[in-house]
Each structure stands twice: as C-alpha cells, then as structure tokens.
C-alpha cells in the first residue's frame, strides 16, 4: 500500500477509498458544513433554489458572528435571512446574539470538532479546525450550499508541506509567532493549494489555543488546510467536553511531502507583520524605528481565546493604556467572556482603560466596533493586514501576538513585552 | 471567443481589494458591482467597459472566502480574469458562479489597454495589440465537466435527482 499523509487519509476515508493521490479530484462525504452572516445568505439561496433540500440537518451549522449584534439595516436583513432559514428548517446548530461567538472559536469549544473529521465552512479561516487532526478547509458559499444540499463536496487532494518546529519556546512567544515566522519564510502564496502539516517537539508542547492560532493562518500562506495530529493535549481538551467518539489518524512515516521546513523554536522571538501583507514579518528586536499606534485590538478567531486574554492581563496589570490610544478587547465566545470575568481579567482591562465588547468579529474585518480612520495605525492580534482590512484604505495594520499588542497599547508604540514587564 | 480590453493589476490582489468588507452587508449583485476593485483602483468601475478583462500577477483573489468577490467582478461586466496564479478559494468560487478565469504564467507581457482574443475552451490567447500568442494552463477535466453541466448548481441538481 502506498503511504499517505494525515490529510490524504482523512480525504480517502470520506471518499470511501483505500488510497487517494495528490492532484486527484474526489467527491467526499462532509461531517460538518457551516456558514456565517456574511456568507450564509448566498448558501441559503443556493439551497432554496434547489428546492430546499438539506442532506443532514445535524451536520450543518449557522453562526451569525461577523456583524453581531446587527450593526446596520443591511446586516440585520442578512441575519434575518439566516434566522428565518433556521426556523423554517428547524436547524439545531444556531446561536443567537448573547450566546454566539466567532465561529472558529465557538465550534471547537462547543465540542463540534473532532479528530479525523472532514469539515467545510463558508469562511476562509475554517482551516483553524485542523488543530484537532481534522481536515478543515474554507470554501465559497456555493460550495457550502452544495454540501448542505448533498452532504458532499469535491476536493482536489492536496500535496503536503511539513513544518517541523523543535526546541524550547521563548517567553512571550506563542503559536502566533510560529505561524508568522512560517508565513514570513514561505510567503503569502508559499503553500498555495497545499496542506500545511505542523509537527515537532515545540508543537507537541503547544496548548490547543495556540495550535488553533497556527492552523487558523494556514490560509495566509495560501494553504488549503493546516493540520496537527491529535495527541494527549487534544485528547484532554476533548475529554473536558465529554467527547470520546473519534478516530485518530496519523501520517505514515514515509508519506510524501513536496517540501520540509525545519525551525528551532529557541530562535523564534515575537514576530510583527508589517502592512500590508502577513508575509512582511520582522522579529521584534529587528524593529529599530518608532511605530506609534492609534489603536490596539486583542480578539478575533486567531487570538481571542482565554489564554490570549490571560497573557494580555498579565501585561496590562497595574499598567495604563497610553494617551490617545484605544485598546479594544473582544473575547471570541461567551464562554471565554464568562471565564475572563470570573478570573477578574475584566477588572484589569477596565482599570487599564480598555474597551471590552461582546463576542463578534467586529474590527478584525473593519466591520464595526473600532474602525480605523485615514492614516491611522493599528496593531492587532487578528490574521490579515491587507489594505483597508480594518477600516480606511489609507490606514495601516500590524499583526502580532496578544503580549506584543497589550504591551504596545501601554507604550503607545510597537514594543517588546519585556520592556513593559520589567 | 472573448474579445476584451485589458485592465492590468499586480500580485496578491486580495478579496479586500476586490470587494471591501464594508460593502459585505449585502449580497445584491448590482450593489457589489458598484464597488468592484474599489480599494485597488477607485475609478475602476467608471473606466471599465462591459466585456473588458482583468490581467494580474500571482495569487489573485487571496484572503477571504467571500463569493462576493467573483460575483462583484462578474456583475461589473468583466468577461474574464487572467492571472499568473489564483488563490484556491477564489479559483473554486469563480468556476462555481461562472466567471471565466485562466492561469497564464506570462501575464507580464500583456499591458494595460491591449486587446486580447481569448478562446476559453482551448486557453489560447491572442494579443491583437502586440501580435503575440500565449497558451493558458489547461482547465482540469472535472472543472470542465462542472462548466459543461452549467456550474455547481446544476451539477447539484443532477445529483439530487439521481439520488431521489
Ligand atoms: S475574526 Fe476576522 S478572520 Fe476570524 S472569522 Fe471573523 S472576520 Fe474572519
């Protein structure tokens, strides 16, 4: 039998084949398909135009997270299309404002994501869920409409690239820095159409939150999916949610990779991606100029999880946000929101002068809750710093981890966290 | 056969440049068309004529999964996008909604304002202005099937009918 990577194995299993080879196009059964308030109206039109067929209601989810609570009349109408569809079809997996969170934080936290699954979402950051040893990829609305209606999707089996990160992780360095380092090395199309597989001792030591951050940004290198094999850490995360029914698949030892990259974690420092591409990365110590900021944002499906908020609190404790700087903190889900409140993190944030919002994508895509004006500069824990991504097409976005963003909010300029925490 | 005037763009034209998120509170095609390419070239919609084509560099359509991007381009009357490479979600979306796209490594040879004769079936492109011929990468068989059945929607229709 020819050897396969974990991605090939998951695709083969769902296409009911013993073997699939890179380049091959297959039709496979999908375990979960979902859409959000931006993409769902087109998904719903696709399904309704087909006569309203849904292959399996338990395998679809609808998550109004981008402009929630409805930011204007148009977005309210989009959410209404979604809500009406959910009511009409009696769809279980739907969350209203007050319980909703950002889809890629909400779904794993609520126990929807398991190793070995095949997942498609009408959102490019669906690749986040590969952190559980699942094959997860973002698609457009028609593709997800197709999956809603038929329970299937077509895939071109991707070639795989292996990224091995060994060694000990430095203080204030997390999954965000690993993935920014990788994107900085291979470029924004360095993994175009390909599967990005992350492994090595530094990955084994990463908590689930950081693994999700890494897989989340596979798309920023053009990747079809990011994937990390399930291990003890994954199993423990699932145990906490009483999940035991899954199959763990692993890459064969001599599976084929088109490329293998190796990194030493001890050489990776906090990374900052400069405007206007995630590949424009620099290590924090390489930044010699003063980059003054107007806004700092901690949140999004990349870094809006509880461990991110804890890191931010560690830095913001007994510190104040610099004059004329807005610090916006958005827990990615209600569960994270409650946990942060319970741990007293909100007291620290409010004392420091931050704004805390209900879970939403908000400023990450320039939606609402903190839009940038012309020529303003932001440092953000999100995943994209394209022109106009967070507001004015004349604004500038730098990407970094939550420690760097919190420290920068205090300093009023992009700064190494070690300079704030002495 | 498409005959089209060229509008030229660079590498990494992302979906935020094609249709910024501030216009994503609708999926109305005419509304999206009004803002097509706005953050890459604010005058694009005013300048471009129906049937014109876009020629770009590497990684066209990177970023978001928003189908609004190819929809905006198609609704703006653009007949075809030719690029050195496409981001994968954009690539799928374009086929699914019936926007013609072609991969061509030599887009640097094409200038803004050139007139192209594009045979979408064979991928042969004749540059009338420069009197040059290029060959775009062949479209995978499955995608051709998809186009022939009239896009993903009709493909789904057939599947459902067969299953019923
Ligand atoms: S947080 Fe940002 S990147 Fe993540 S799903 Fe929302 S808009 Fe997309």
Question: Is a pLDDT exceeding 60 seen at residue B164?
Answer: no
Question: Is there a binding annotation on residue A79?
Answer: no
pLDDT tens-digit series, residues B111-151: 999 999 999 888 999 999 999 999 999 888 888 778 777 78
pLDDT higher than 90, residue B44:
yes
Say yes or no to pLDDT of A350 above 90.
yes
- Give chain B positions within 8 Å (CB) of A373: none
pLDDT above 70: percentage of residues in chain A? 100
Range(s) of the domain holding residue A130: 4-261
Instruction: With respect to residue A422, please indicate whether it lies within any of the assigned structural domains.
Output: no
| B107, B57 Cβ separation under 8 angstroms | yes
Mean pLDDT of the region A173-191 = 97
* A246, A115 Cβ separation under 8 angstroms: yes
Return the ∠ at Cα A238 (arms to A146 and A134), rounded to 5°.
35
Q: Are residues A351 and A212 in the same domain?
A: no
Rounded Cα–Cα distance for residues B60 and A255 (Å): 31
In this prediction, residue A386 carries a pLDDT of 96
Q: Tell me the CATH number at A318.
A: 3.30.499.10
User: A361 C-alpha to center of ligand 1: Å?
Assistant: 5
Whether residue A377 lies inside any domain: the answer is yes
Residue A267 located in a structural domain:
no
Q: Is residue A20 part of a domain?
A: yes
| Cis amide prior to A69 (ω within 30 degrees) | yes
Q: Is the pLDDT of residue B87 over 70?
A: yes
Put simply, the answer to whether A140 touches B65 (Cβ < 8 Å) is: yes
- Summarised one tens digit per residue, pLDDT across range A364-396 is 999 999 999 999 999 999 999 999 999 999 999
Give me the mean pLDDT over the A35-56 stretch: 96
The count of domains in chain A is 2
Cβ separation of B85 and A46 shorter than 8 Å?
no
User: What mean pLDDT, rounded, does chain B reach?
Assistant: 93
pLDDT of res. A161: 98
In this structure, are A149 and A290 located in the same domain? no
Average pLDDT, integer, range B24-41: 94
**pLDDT at position B151:** 80
pLDDT above 90: percentage of residues in chain A: 99
In this prediction the ipTM stands at 0.89
Q: Report how far Cα B70 is from the mean position of its chain's Cα atoms.
A: 6
A247/A285 same-domain check: no
A346 and A405 co-located in one domain? yes
> At residue A188, what are phi and psi to the nearest 5 degrees?
-70, -10
pLDDT band for position A1 (50/70/90)? confident
Q: Is the pLDDT of residue B24 over 60?
A: yes
A256 & A278 share domain: no
Q: Does A199 share its domain with A346?
A: no
Q: Do B65 and A39 touch (CB under 8 A)?
A: yes
* Interatomic CA distance for residues B76 and B84, integer angstroms: 22
Rounded mean pLDDT of A329-348? 98
What is the C-alpha separation between A369 and A391, in angstroms, rounded?
11
| Chosen domain end from A210, A229, A261 | A261
Contact B27 A42 (CB under 8 A): yes
Residue A414 has pLDDT above 80, yes or no: yes
Are residue A166 and residue A147 in the same domain, yes or no?
A: yes
In the stretch 219-238 of chain A, residues with CB closer than 8 A to chain B read 219, 222, 224
Atom of ligand 1 nearest to the CA of A302: 4
Pocket of ligand 1 (CB under 6 A): A 66, 102, 104, 123, 125, 300-301, 361, 364-365, 382-383
pLDDT of the residue at B27? 86
Residues contacting A253, CB < 8 A, separation 6+? A3
Average of per-residue pLDDT across A343-350: 98
Residues A98 and A221 in one domain: yes
* Residue A315's pLDDT band (cuts 50, 70, 90): very high
A99-136 pLDDT, tens digit per residue, is 999 999 999 999 999 999 999 999 999 999 999 999 99
Q: Which of A213, A234, A261 is the last residue of a domain?
A: A261
């Amino acid at each position: 039998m020819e050897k396969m990577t974990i991605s090939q194995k998951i695709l083969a299993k769902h296409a009911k084949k013993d073997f699939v080879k890179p380049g091959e196009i297959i039709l496979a059964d999908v375990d979960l398909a979902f859409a959000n308030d931006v993409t769902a109206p087109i998904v719903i039109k696709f399904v309704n135009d087909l006569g309203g067929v849904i292959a399996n209601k338990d395998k679809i989810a609808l998550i109004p997270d981008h402009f929630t609570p409805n930011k204007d009349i148009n977005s309210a109408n989009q959410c209404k299309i979604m809500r009406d569809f959910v009511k009409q079809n009696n769809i279980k997996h739907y969350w209203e404002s007050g319980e909703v969170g950002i889809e890629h934080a909400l779904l794993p936290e609520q126990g929807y994501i398991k190793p070995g699954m095949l997942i498609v979402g009408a959102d490019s950051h669906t690749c986040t869920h590969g952190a559980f040893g699942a094959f997860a990829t973002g698609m457009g609305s028609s593709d997800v409409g197709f999956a809603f209606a038929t329970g299937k999707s077509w895939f071109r089996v991707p070639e795989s690239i292996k990224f091995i990160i060994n060694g000990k992780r430095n203080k204030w360095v997390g999954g965000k820095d690993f993935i920014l380092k990788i994107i900085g090395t291979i470029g924004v199309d360095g993994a175009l159409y390909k599967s990005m597989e992350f492994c090595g001792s530094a990955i084994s030591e990463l908590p689930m939150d950081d693994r999700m951050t890494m897989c989340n940004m596979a798309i920023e290198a053009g990747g079809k999916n990011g994937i990390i094999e399930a291990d003890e850490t994954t199993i423990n995360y699932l145990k906490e949610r009483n999940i035991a029914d899954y199959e763990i698949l692993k890459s064969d030892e001599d599976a084929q990779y088109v490329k293998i990259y190796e990194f030493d974690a001890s050489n990776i420092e906090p990374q900052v991606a400069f405007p206007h591409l995630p590949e424009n990365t620099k290590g924090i110590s390489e930044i010699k100029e003063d980059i003054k900021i107007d806004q700092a944002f901690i949140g999004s499906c990349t870094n809006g999880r509880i461990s991110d908020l804890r890191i931010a609190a560690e830095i913001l404790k007994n510190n104040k946000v610099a004059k004329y700087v807005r610090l916006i903190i958005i827990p990615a889900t209600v569960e994270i929101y409650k946990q942060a409140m319970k741990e007293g993190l909100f007291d620290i944030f409010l004392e420091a002068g931050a704004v805390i919002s209900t879970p939403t994508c908000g400023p990450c895509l320039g939606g609402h809750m903190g839009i940038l004006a012309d020529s303003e500069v932001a440092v953000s824990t999100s995943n994209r710093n394209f022109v106009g991504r967070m507001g004015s097409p004349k604004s500038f976005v730098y990407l970094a981890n939550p420690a760097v963003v919190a420290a920068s909010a205090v300093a009023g300029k992009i700064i190494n966290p070690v300079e704030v925490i002495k | 056969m498409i005959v089209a005037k060229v509008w030229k763009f660079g590498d990494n034209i992302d979906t935020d440049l094609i249709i910024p998120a501030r216009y994503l509170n609708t999926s109305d095609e005419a509304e999206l068309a009004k803002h097509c390419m706005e953050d890459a070239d604010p005058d694009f919609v005013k300048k471009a004529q129906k049937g014109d084509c876009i020629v770009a560099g590497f990684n066209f359509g990177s970023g978001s999964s928003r189908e609004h991007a190819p929809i905006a381009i198609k609704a703006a009357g653009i007949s075809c996008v030719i690029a050195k490479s496409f981001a994968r979600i954009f690539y799928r979306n374009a086929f699914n909604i019936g926007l013609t796209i072609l991969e061509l490594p030599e887009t640097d040879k094409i200038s803004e304002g050139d007139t192209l004769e594009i045979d979408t079936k064979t991928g042969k492109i004749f540059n009338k202005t420069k009197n040059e011929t290029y060959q775009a990468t062949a479209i995978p068989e499955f995608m051709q099937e998809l186009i022939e059945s009239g896009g993903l929607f009709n493909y789904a229709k057939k599947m459902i009918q067969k299953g019923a």
